Amino acid sequence: MQRVIERILNLLAFLLTVNHPVTAEDIRHTVAGYDQDSDAAFRRTFERDKDLLRSLGVPLKMTATDIWEVEHGYVIREDEYAVKDPGLTDEERSALLAAAQVVQFGGQPTEMSAIFKLGGASSLISTPAIGADLGEDLEGLGVLFDAIASRREVRFAYGDRRRTVHPYALAHRLGHWYLAAPERKEPLPVKAFRVDRMAGIEPHGDGDAFEVPANFDSNAVFPGGRDREELHALVRFASDVAPVAQNQVSGTEVVDHADDWVELRVPVHNRHAFIGWMLGFDDRAVVLEPAELRESVIAHVRGDR
């Protein structure tokens, strides 16, 4: 392992100081550690090393070595390599470390390396007795996040199609991550794509490739947003389950109540989701109004939609 680490550090040192693109052959003959006997062995080693550099976050790029573009070489631009130092205090770094330990992504905490890059932090801090898992792994989310910050196109497979979109915003709503992006060439309308249904997420093209329209309203795009059709349902709940309904949907109002039931006025943002939610209460909730919504529930239960 030590030989590998030495070779990687030598390679990185060379690429950071050489100031012009260098070919694989240049690297083989200049950097200590590339003394493999055969061409094939060198190529295997070099490929692995490039992968490692990229997974560490090193912006290793390939570009023409001269204006005639006959040969291509590797380059790392120092301004792209260096962390943009946010100037955190020790206390702020410790607070971030604590947060990264209790908020996970798909069961994994954020890599400690993130904190190391910002200058490290004392791990001797108490973490709050609270935890959160925001689902999803960070790799795909990271690509989307980077594309949003740099206004770069992203590509992914969704349903049966591959898409190339202009990513506007990312949201964690109701337990899922969503990407807001226009589905067609025009900047609007914008659709919410579920990140866990995407495959093969990758950046495409250069940064600053598009502008987010000024009238884009992320709240209207993501599920659970407020700007939907204003529909309210009047529902009679058994008294003991009514508090659950009030906890789960904000904006409910008590309209009437007796000993064993409570009538709530419930905002409906999505009919389909509302019917599913109603059925979660079994026979302890009955939609009274509007009549057509009541009929929809009954039809759904009967199975004759």
Partner 1 sequence: MSARTQSRIARMLAMIPYVVEHGGASLADLRERFDYPSDKAVVKDLNVIFMTGLPGYGPGDLIDVDIFEDEVVIESADHFRSALRLTPGEALGLLAAGSTLVASGQAPPALASAVDKLATAIGVELDDQVILDVPTPQIVHDLRYALESHNPVRIVYVAASTNETTTRVVEGEAVFFNLGAWYFRGYCRLADDDRLFRVDRIASVEVLDEEFVPVAADSPAVAIYEPSPDDHIAVFDVGPTSRWVADYYPVESEQLTDGVVRITMHVADPLVAARLLLQLGDDATLVEGTAVDEALHDLRDRILEAYATI
Q: What CA–CA distance (Å, rounded) separates 216 from 167?
A: 12
Q: Which of 25, 39, 66, 139 binds partner 1 (CB under 8 A)?
A: 139
Q: What CA–CA distance (Å, rounded) separates 87 from 89?
A: 7
Q: What CA–CA distance (Å, rounded) separates 146 from 126?
A: 31
Amino acid at 64: A
Q: Does 200 bind partner 1 (CB under 8 A)?
A: no
Compute the least distance from the CB of residue 253 to partner 1, in Å. Answer: 17
Compute the least distance from the CB of residue 195 to partner 1, in Å. Answer: 11
Q: Which of 21, 58, 73, 268 binds partner 1 (CB under 8 A)?
A: 58
Binding marks (x or -) toward partner 1, 64..93, rule CB under 8 A?
Answer: --------------x-xxxxxxxxxx-xxx
Compute the least distance from the CB of residue 31 to partner 1, in Å. Answer: 7
Going by the DSSP 8-state scheme, the letter that residue 299 receives in this structure is: H
Q: Which of 98, 124, 133 is nearest to 112 (CA)?
A: 98
Q: Does 63 bind partner 1 (CB under 8 A)?
A: no
- Give ∠ CA 20-24-28 in degrees, rounded to 5: 110
Q: Which of 19, 63, 113, 164 binds partner 1 (CB under 8 A)?
A: 113
Q: What CA–CA distance (Å, rounded) separates 88 from 82?
A: 16
Q: Which of 46, 168, 193, 274 binds partner 1 (CB under 8 A)?
A: 168
Compute the least distance from the CB of residue 295 to partner 1, in Å. Answer: 10
If DSSP codes are grouped into helix, strand and coil, which group holds residue 140? helix
Binding marks (x or -) toward partner 1, 257..296, rule CB under 8 A?
Answer: ------------------xx--xxxxxx-x-x-----x--
Compute the least distance from the CB of residue 59 to partner 1, in Å. Answer: 7
User: For partner 1, which is the closer residue by CB, 67 or 201?
Assistant: 201
Compute the least distance from the CB of residue 68 to partner 1, in Å. Answer: 26
Q: Which of 21, 60, 158, 176 binds partner 1 (CB under 8 A)?
A: 176
Crossing angle (nearest 10°) for helices 2-17 and 39-56 = 80
In 139-268, the DSSP E strands lie at 153-158, 161-165, 169-173, 176-182, 190-194, 198-204, 231-238, 253-257, 261-268
Q: Does 175 bind partner 1 (CB under 8 A)?
A: yes
Q: What CA–CA distance (Å, rounded) separates 209 from 207?
A: 5
Q: Does 224 bind partner 1 (CB under 8 A)?
A: yes
User: For partner 1, which is the closer residue by CB, 155 or 172?
Assistant: 172
Contact 170, 141 (CB under 8 A): yes
Region of 14-22, 60-68, 182-190, 252-260 interacting with partner 1 (CB under 8 A): 14-22
